[in-house]
Structure 1
Amino acid sequence: MKLILFVLTGLAGTAFAQAPWANGPLQVSANGRFLQHTSGKPFFWLADTCWLAVQKFSREEAKSYFENRRAKGFNVVQCTAVQMLTDKTVYGDVPFAGGDVARLLTTTGSDPADAEQYDYWDHLDYLFETAAANGIYLALAPTWSHTVRRAPIPADKAARYVAALAQRLKDRPNLIWLNGGAAKGDVDADVWQAIGVAIKQHDPRHLMTFHAFGRTQSSSWFRDATWLDFHTFTSGHRRYDQDTDGKRFGEDNWRYVLDDLAKSPRKPTLDTEPSYEDTPQGLHDANQPYWNADDVRRYAYWSVFAGACGHTYGQNSVRQVYKPSDPRPSSGAKHFYTAVLDAPGAGQMRHVKNLMLSRPYFDRASAQSLTAGDEGEKYDRVLVTNGKEFLMAYTSTGRDFKLALGEISGAEVAAWWFNPRTGEAAKAGTHKNTGTVAFNPPGEPGRGNDWVLVLDDASKAFGPPGAGAAR
């Protein structure tokens, strides 16, 4: 028999009382594992993917999009300043004078009602302002790997371009730099190094990382780069049997986290491109099954419980801003972006952020040694994380599992079941904090019946998981 659960909490609020950067600029935590504000407040990266926001949003569409993402709890949006040299805004403006990346094409004035004044870079400014009005950072890639490779863009011109861009944007409070752009760091390495160095020289205040090619990680190339503040990896869009080269981690994105955090110097890491919701498995063949909300939740909890400092979500149509005016979509997208802004996974991502912020933050780490018996393989794997006063275990299938207690503080532990689909939590009794205990998640085991077991030091009297910030 399954335990009858009584719901205690609903969805957490989505409005923000103040802009996140009111707590100071972002920095790496002292233990090299997380991001925080200079005030000491933790920053859990929860990003949406909208690579072509600059190129394809009108001002009105941008406003609506950022308001939607704020309501869903996103605090970062990943986008590109210039993906291709042929880029234009919806207003027909191009980024460079004569196609020369070293010369930003700018005009006098910035009045959007005057087409002669409102240029490409004014539109980028507007996106920053609109994102800021909604408490959202833009993680901005200056360019994209295929543009660097095909144009080609030499290192000296790339450095001059990003120097001008950094000078323009350095006072924006909601900026994070994404060097790369689906790039292999050992291809055009001189260009990526030049970009990183030039940005840091002209804008040392903002954090920077490197967005890597599928199934690769920035730590493979830039472990010691002084311009790189935290690592990212792209676990990519392939299922287990499709991942036939490289490390062959397949869908186990948690393996990248453990690999990154084991390296020296230690830097925070996160998955900035896992499988997108409503995307064909493998990315390109629309005849393949499509990734769904169950999958994107699994990627989020797996990576975060392994020790990631946040997570990035993506939806196939939104990431490319697929509109009726487009001749055809990429990667088998089936709906225009406006129809899927409220895709199930998009609304469920906030729950992992709320959960992690509801418990003490900076001492959390992977705790797989606390699984007693079978950790499980592939979809049956149970991921465990803990701090000094709490423990969490995630199962993507709702299967039974056992844990060895006694690692966290307290004579007794208070148990909760947290639902990643709804953000609701229910009490599940107390246990002596010793020995091995078997746990039986609600519902019948199966794909998509995912649950988080939360065990707290009962003496701490924490509130329901996902409700409010612990400290």
Structure 2
Amino acid sequence: MIRFNLLMLLAGVLCFSCAPHKKTSEELPLLKVSENGHYMVKSGGDPFFWLGDTGWLLFTKLNREEAEKYLEDRREKGFNVIQVMVLHSLGAVNVYGDSALINDDASRPLVTEGSSFSDPEQYDYWDNIDYVIDKAAEKGLYMALVPVWGGNVRGGYVSREQGKLYGEWLAKRYRDRSNIIWLNGGDTFGSDSTATWNAIGNALKNNDPNHLITFHPRGRMQSSDWFENESWLDFNMVQSGHRRYDQDDTERNYGEDNWRYIQADFNLKPAKPTIDGEPSYEGIPQGLHDTTQPYWKAEDVRRYAYWSVFAGACGFTYGHSAIMQFYKPSDEEPAYGAREYWTQALEAPGAKQMGYLKDLMLSRPYLDRVPDQSLIAGENGEKYDHLQATRGTGYAYIYTYTGRNIPVNMTKFKSGVKALWFDPKSGEITEIRKVENSGTHEFDPPGEKENGNDWVLVLEEMKE
């Protein structure tokens, strides 16, 4: 039942200035930026590889049982970050019929006294968010929260002052929960409503200095375009996928170069971590709205993932069209041509394959890792033939999406190396041979050269 009686409205106004909502969640290590500025670490110093999933409408579309099913599945597959909208719209209502705001005013969250789920008059929109956040913490998952989706600000429905008050309230409510990350923005241009985005960002940072903050930009753009030097921005995010609407509303489709955005961010000074926070989703049309176009597949998601991570990203965010909207049988029709329900999409092959990437990256020294295209002898390759290389202490990885031959400058190694093939499709590793550290050696991946026959060449320096 939606609570719009006078008593509840007054309760919402009064609770707006109440003390922060105390956490009941499991304590997870706080996340920090690594000393070299490029990656994330847990408060104890261990590396944290961000493996995210876009569960954008989790707070409004799923009930408690469904939310736990989703979170548990993502935990089992190795995900550790869930990206969610707190307010998709100012009129947001969850599955229990609870509204988020009073009169669609971002500065007036509708909060009721008490939080008992057994009492519908107590259990409100924000209590349900608390439940999901705490359940995620129990499963070792961090929640990357978008305070308000970009279109609401871009459309003029959230003023600078409203954004500031709302940001302060959110920060105070959730600053005692250790599994929070803030995603300011939401598929929008930072050059539009810049003052409001800065007001929200500063409100979050000033009232919650212990949680990391970034900005989720419009398609084919990056947060560093606008906020690199803002004190509230701890790390950068790019959205490489789907489409780009230029300022003149021209729509363009891409899919061949997300590594370029990461490369640009990695080279900025001072260094900040960066990540592709929204590539094209598995199970979404390549034209986004045009369902006559081919749909992106698991192999495309792997390309986005390995290219960006090997180019220096601090992790990767996966997405599936049916899951980001939690498409259900009760929905009239899906957005973006989703062809299966969210419960079926949980088993999409790309989701499981993302865990192999995380395991690979954490299997060897991580925090001193750098992108290094000088490992490749000759041209890096155009479009889908592009090779992307990274190296750390005693090892190097080179990714090919097409299974093309990989020419390696062996003089870059201090000793001979043991060469192996890592299969991104299965996570299996096959030893090739030992190779001397002199001249150029060309490695021929298994199978025929074609899109989706992707491999990682693993080169391990041998101890003398």
**TM-score scaled by length of structure 2:** 0.91
State the shift of 1:130 in Å: 1.1
8 A contact 2:26–2:134 mirrored in 1: no
Alignment of 1:134-283 (within 5 A): 134-238=139-243, 250-283=255-288
Separation of aligned partners in 2, 1:412 and 1:315: 42
Q: 1:434 aligns with which of 420, 438, 441?
A: 438
State the shift of 1:150 in Å: 2.4
Identity of aligned residues (%): 50
State the shift of 1:238 in Å: 4.2
SS at match of 1:324: coil
Higher relative contact order (CA 8 A, sep 6+): 1
2:30 matched residue in structure 1: 25
1:377 matched residue in structure 2: 382
Separation of aligned partners in 2, 1:457 and 1:292: 34
Unpaired runs of at least 5, structure 1: 1-18, 461-471
Change (3 A) 1:245 1:305: farther
Partner amino acid, structure 2, of 1:434 = S
2:419 matched residue in structure 1: 415
SS at match of 2:103: helix
Moved more, 204-213 or 322-331: 322-331
1:121 matched residue in structure 2: 126
SS at match of 2:219: coil
Separation of aligned partners in 2, 1:63 and 1:216: 33
Q: State whether structure 2 residue 52 is matched by structure 1 residue 47.
A: yes
8 A contact 1:238–1:250 mirrored in 2: no
Separation of aligned partners in 2, 1:401 and 1:229: 36
Deviation by residue 1:278-316 (Cα, 9 ceiling, x = unmatched) = 000021111111000000001000000101000000000
State the shift of 1:127 in Å: 0.8
Alignment of 1:343-354 (within 5 A): 343-354=348-359
8 A contact 1:391–1:408 mirrored in 2: no
Q: 2:449 aligns with which of 403, 425, 445?
A: 445
Separation of aligned partners in 2, 1:351 and 1:416: 15
Separation of aligned partners in 1, 2:26 and 2:300: 29
Q: State whether structure 2 residue 421 is matched by structure 1 residue 399.
A: no
Q: How many matched pairs?
A: 436
State the shift of 1:102 in Å: 1.0
8 A contact 2:253–2:287 mirrored in 1: no
SS at match of 2:419: strand
8 A contact 1:139–1:175 mirrored in 2: yes
1:339 matched residue in structure 2: 344
Alignment root-mean-square deviation, CA: 1.8
SS at match of 1:85: coil
Partner amino acid, structure 1, of 2:456 = V
Partner amino acid, structure 2, of 1:423 = G
Partner amino acid, structure 1, of 2:306 = Y
Separation of aligned partners in 2, 1:20 and 1:163: 24
Deviation by residue 1:17-41 (Cα, 9 ceiling, x = unmatched) = xx9965x311111111111112110
Partner amino acid, structure 2, of 1:459 = K
Q: 1:459 aligns with which of 432, 457, 463?
A: 463
8 A contact 1:420–1:451 mirrored in 2: yes
Q: State whether structure 2 residue 398 is matched by structure 1 residue 390.
A: no
**TM-score scaled by length of structure 1:** 0.90
Runs ≥4 residues deviating over 4 A = 19-22, 244-250
State the shift of 1:151 in Å: 4.9
Partner amino acid, structure 1, of 2:361 = M
Moved more, 370-379 or 189-198: 370-379
Unpaired runs of at least 5, structure 2: 1-24
Separation of aligned partners in 1, 2:27 and 2:100: 28
Deviation by residue 1:119-153 (Cα, 9 ceiling, x = unmatched) = 00000001101111111001000001111122521
8 A contact 2:421–2:430 mirrored in 1: yes
Q: 2:302 aligns with which of 297, 318, 322?
A: 297
